[in-house]
Structure 1
């Protein structure tokens, strides 16, 4: 609101005058011992009656005397100060410094004496000799958010003789959460703000501003004009600038120092000592950073950004915040405490590098949350056992489950044919790719065991997921036997569940029909596809054909194709995915037992879901990696975050022309096995028709835990949430509480996934007896 003290014209004139001053950051210095400059100062004061005058020169002289004579007695101070002043009038001693942007005039000691007093309390943390060395050093700072704290701390400590600062940006109101300045500086250039603050604490320091930031046109001047920089400090946000500046610094053998306010991440690159050192420790050596500036979307930029910032090494809260960017927040968060702390650390390291007392390169973390923390209570950590084979003892315990036919009436298969059958069986889908089957062939009998070493995860309550997988594996075995002309007699062994699942023997011939041939042909091609999919209709004839192939006895397949229904299912799936992250036991299973985060883990375990197989965008893949940190996940839960994950599920469901649900009339192990067989037939048939399948069973498993599992540790708040989700789900599919919800899936058209989940070798899933 306009002040009533001014007319409209007067008010606007004052605003315009202020704007004219917004480019000024160099003070005007007057030496009144010179008559010309004395007259100029007098003219200035006469013309500008509002100038405030600050004259403490007498006190400064006394402080100078104490610095020069540390043992002086107070009674001697006045006389020594007067003697030091000599015949020079007090008003003309030293210099007068005028700050035009604030209309303040300050009387100060001249530079030599000013520096003596200003740095007196640096001694002997910094010796006089070291202070002199530093006064000749040139430092460049790129980026003035964190860089503001760095620059001011360097200036306070007088850690340079020349400072070059670069930033193209103006101060926004939101910057004031971490940049120490006043509201009157909003929309003022950050370079001007920093230069003014340094001038106001030390008008003798040399500061050169690059108001346009670092560009291709000025980078050489920033690094070399008026002498090469002795140290480059990188606090800029532009990743292409980070790399290009480093490449030039490497050529010029200028050391580079960077501090990230999160966890006080420190990068030191001593190109002056290691001219062949790879830029950014080699993290981006396989990337062409020249294309970065041409990239538009965050998803395109993430593969370049991630190696620079680190993904696994972010703090829990930063990981959670990164997930929330562009959903509940618009940019990377920073705190004043971290920025201020980082400024101090950077100034300290800068001094050590410039004085030659620190020669190391590398990435370091000075994480206060790790260094100073409450003592953590001892926690029992679940074992992270990798896949184990069944022992001979475990197998022999169930070999008393004998054949159907009398001895001598069954046929013995060659090891080659047995291996062929089990290879096909091993290509069945399984929850988390845990491959819970172990096959044992002996005396013409083929036994199927559940490998409980890999079953029974948090999202495998009462082994329902493993039963479904074992059913799918049985279906593959039977199809492969059919196309190989083998007659099969087999049965489930429910009296021995969950250890021993089924028994098979082979006798006679079987001529495969066309359906069996078609399904068996797809065993090698069937795979999980998590892509968004092409938004196109699916024919009613195809849906009916899949329904016909799937439905037998009491097995039912339902389809939902309406856009509103699919949106509701997307919401349900997204909520369930978040719930999986937010329940610690479920999160631990997902992170440690199900996911494989790199090629080495995939090769070592030969199971689990490789992150490379998830068909995720760069953005979503990095978001998933951030979710590895349990502290980050729990903070995300605390702020009710995770909208990005729900958006992904919603997008997937909305782009799928149909959602399928396979159910049986009752929830029991045998029905889950039968359901698994039906699932595999449906999936193979869909593959033959050119469709992709994405299982979405997490909601179903939570529904089971809430309704059927007697011993579960679902938190009460989660129970309520699951109940509400289940009610919505049952309403959509018009099912009752007693129905066994076996398999929920998306069906859609898309390209095949280029990466497939790994399978264990036969020597880990098949044993052959010698008896």
Structure 2
């Protein structure tokens, strides 16, 4: 029978490639040997590989290896290195991205001492946080070690570094591991540190601790040490501070030679200087007084050792990824943390508990009724970007820019809202026999847009018919049914828009709606990942207990429980920063994608500027009146209506997109072109708003409004 290299046979597996002629011959001999057990894991691994989301490109599921473990007398069939590692480390994502894992795989980490060091080395291997491990310990496993070393009875009497290496080999046979069974000595420490990226020092000998630090300082290698009491952890960045004194200078002028061959009692004063006796746990401090009396040596617990391994591994990750990690000391004190248990803050999923106020009857006074109807107009984020003023014979609706956002490019979205308010005012005026035509002003620097309605006797039956509809108009964001629109609906909406010289462009059919859903979802992703847009998005939302008369009451989003949880996570800027860093976040648009897919149509209200060229705010306002007419007609036809306008809606130029989202300008330009093509939008038309139409259950909550100045609800 062929044996592995006798120099490594007690801790390294023999990895055989059946496609290699020599390896295949060795494999046949091993397979024919008596007493060798065989385990074939390939089918299960291939099944796992097939289920991976976004596997690395170029993986060959047919590549395989046989691994012989001499100490187990076992042959194991597994997939090749690339597929094996992709599967084994897949659950690291995105705590560690693939790019970060590849970067960490360039690290060579040395661990001196294999009691605490065993757990450190194994955790590093477990996470794939290094590409090579070098382990050192001269000692063998004793039964008393098994309170903290995760070995077993079969390991008693075996060199500690061998035990660690075997355990790692059974986890990942492809990870290179070197061992120093003689441990690290004064005259071999430089050789041990040669080529290391990081050294972890966990040995008991004070003179070797000192020697490792002196060598690390000479070679400018960062050194880490965990001391398993109250999570004490030390970092000595000799790579950044080559003049730094060992042990942070806590030993003063003491030399390594003075620390050699000390017994446990003689070590204690030096240990205390390193550990700071005032910061020891009471149990550890009291135990030190009992060393050699009632206990053999200082105590250690397995849980503390495991915690230390986690701390060290986190520090190695930071070093390997170039993250902040300065020299110094910290404590990760679990006992103190458990003393500080507190009741968690609960996510209030019961957002429907706020009582709805009674619906006010329209005021009897005609001017007050006209203003109240104007106040019911839709606006982006329910910001109500207008100032209303009324007197007998005159209604004024002025654009108020104070609530404008980055999406509201040059106040175009606000102008659309003002136009909708003007239509509502005209409908109410017509219903009260006081028809008025709007006069628009855009030439006053102090007031970007002003509409004046001169009220006179007269009516318009079509406008008057919109009055009750305007009072009942609301947004319905419920998921709808994918019921096709009757053939009469889009023409009817077109007729409504034409009354304001606007047009309707409709997207219908499952395939076209699915494409539109993806584009609008991608737009939402940009909204979440652009810091200014993200901040403005969440500034619009209102939660129970907040003033719900402006902004978007979260209940009107009709969120499912999972969507509500996502809203809570989505408000975190640190999460958005991370998704932006990863070029990820496709799921941020899921809510919009789901709703657009569950629709009957999308309609965009298009318009041309009356004077040609670039439209002014009055053009957008007239289009806003068309938006309101289309919305009211759709609702009259039994449709649920929701605005789903993308972040690029009011961008006429590339510079507009750059203002909206500097980082995603190209992305938005691409989405905008594709969306306009899908709409069939002529080049000389602009879009005032995009509405989602569906057949859905009634909205459970409707947005509130601020009181009209001078009304009984004012203030």
1:731 is aligned to 2:677: yes
**Secondary structure in 2 matching 1:559:** strand
> 628, 649, 652: which is aligned to 1:680?
628
Structure 1 residue corresponding to 2:557, chosen from 614, 629, 642: 614
**Residue correspondence of structure 1 range 523-542 to structure 2 within 5 A:** 523-542=470-489
What are the superposed Cα offsets for residues 390-427 of structure 1, whole Å, 9 maximum, x if unpaired? xxxxxxxxxxxxxxxxxxxxxxx998332222222111
Q: Which residue of 1 aligns with 2:544?
A: 599
- Give the counterpart of 2:607 among 650, 664, 671: 664
Structure 2: state its 5+ residue gaps: 1-14, 17-22, 39-67, 75-118, 120-139, 145-152, 164-178, 184-202, 208-250, 289-296, 345-361, 610-614
Which residue number corresponds to residue 447 of structure 1? 396
Task: Please give the alpha-carbon distance, in whole angstroms, between the structure 2 residues aligned to 1:353 and 1:733.
Answer: 58
Q: Within 5 A, what are the aligned runs for 1:33-432?
A: 122=275, 124-125=277-278, 130-131=283-284, 158=299, 345-346=331-332, 348-350=333-335, 362=342, 416-432=365-381
Q: Deviations over 1:486-517 (max 9, x none)?
A: 2222322235564452222433354x74x556
Q: CA 1:751/1:503 → structure 2, altered by over 3 Å: closer, same or farther?
A: same
Does the Cα contact within 8 Å between 1:703 and 1:723 map onto a contact in 2? no
Q: Does the CA-based 8 Å contact 2:407-2:648 persist in structure 1? A: no
TM-aligned CA distance change 1:115 to 1:29, over 3 Å: farther
Does 467-476 or 556-565 show the bigger shift?
Answer: 556-565
Q: What is the alpha-carbon distance in structure 1 between the residues aligned to residue 443 and residue 514 of structure 2?
A: 42
CA contact (8 A) 2:386 2:418 kept: yes
Cα gap change, 1:478 to 1:158, in 2 (>3 Å): farther
CA RMSD in angstroms comes to 5.5
CA deviations on 1:663-695 (whole Å, 9 max, x unpaired) are 112233222212111111211122222211121
SS of 2:547's partner is helix
How far does residue 447 in structure 1 lie from its aligned partner after superposition? 1.6
- Secondary structure, counterpart of 1:759 in structure 2: coil
Give the deviation of 1:75 after TM superposition.
12
- 1:577 and 1:765, CA in 2 relative to 1: closer, same or farther beyond 3 A? farther
For 2:694, the equivalent position in structure 1 comes to 748
Which residue is 2:37 aligned to? 12
Structure 2: distance between partners of 1:520 and 1:439: 18
Q: For each residue in 1:60-86, what CA deviation from the matched residue of structure 2 results, as whole angstroms up to 9, or x when unmatched?
A: 99999xxxxx9x9999999998xxxxx
2-structure distance, mates of 1:62, 1:717: 55
Partner of 1:507: 456
Instruction: Check whether the contact 1:656–1:747 (CA below 8 A) recurs between aligned residues.
Output: yes
Stretches of structure 1 lacking an aligned partner (at least 5 in a row): 31-40, 65-69, 82-108, 136-155, 167-176, 182-260, 263-316, 318-334, 365-412
Question: Taking structure 1 as reference, are residues 538 and 128 closer, same or farther at Cα in structure 2, changes over 3 Å only?
Answer: closer
Q: Which residue of 1 aligns with 2:703?
A: 757
CA contact (8 A) 1:538 1:658 kept: yes
SS at 2:398's partner residue? strand
- Name the CA distance, whole Å, in 1 between partners of 2:575 and 2:255: 59
- State the alpha-carbon separation in 2 of the partners of residues 134 and 505 from structure 1: 92
Q: Aligned pair in 2 of structure 1 residues 133, 349: CA closer, same or farther (>3 Å)?
A: farther
Determine the C-alpha separation between the residues in 2 that align with 1:547 and 1:63.
87
| Separation in structure 1 between the aligned mates of residue 498 and residue 449 of structure 2, nearest angstrom | 26
CA distance in 2, matches of 1:568, 1:74: 71
Partner-residue secondary structure (3-state), 1:703: coil
* Range 608-617 or range 670-679, more displaced: 608-617
**Does structure 1 retain, via aligned residues, the 8 Å contact 2:387–2:397?**
yes
- CA gap of 1:687–1:61, structure 2 versus 1, over 3 A, is closer
Match of 1:380 in 2: none
**Distance of aligned partners of 1:551 and 1:482 in 2 relative to their CA distance in 1, 3 Å threshold:** same
Q: Give TM-score scaled by structure 1 length.
A: 0.50
Corresponding residue SS for 1:673: helix
Say which SS state the counterpart of residue 488 (structure 2) adopts: helix
Alpha-carbon displacement from aligned partner over 1:728-768 (angstroms, at most 9, x marks no partner): 23322333322121121110011233233231112389999
Cα contact 2:439–2:453 (8 A) shared by 1 = no
**More relative contact order, 1 or 2 (CA 8 Å, 6+ apart):** 1
Specify which of 452, 465, 468 is matched with residue 521 of structure 1.
468
Structure 1 residue 597, shift from structure 2 partner: 4.6
Verify: 1:494 aligned to 2:519, yes or no.
no
Task: Say if 1:158 and 1:493 are closer, same or farther in 2 by CA, change over 3 A.
Answer: same
Of 691, 701, 705, 2:649 maps to: 701
1:573 paired residue number:
520
Shift of 1:553: 5.5
Distance 1:74 1:736 in 2: 82
**Deviations along 1:456-494, whole A, 9 cap, x unmatched?**
4212122211111111112222222333x3222232223
Decide whether the 8 Å contact of 2:388 with 2:709 is kept in 1.
no
Moved more, 538-547 or 675-684: 538-547
Instruction: State the distance in 2 between where 1:675 and 1:432 align.
Output: 18
Deviates more, 1:415-424 or 1:625-634: 625-634
C-alpha contact 1:561 1:657 (8 A) present in aligned 2: yes
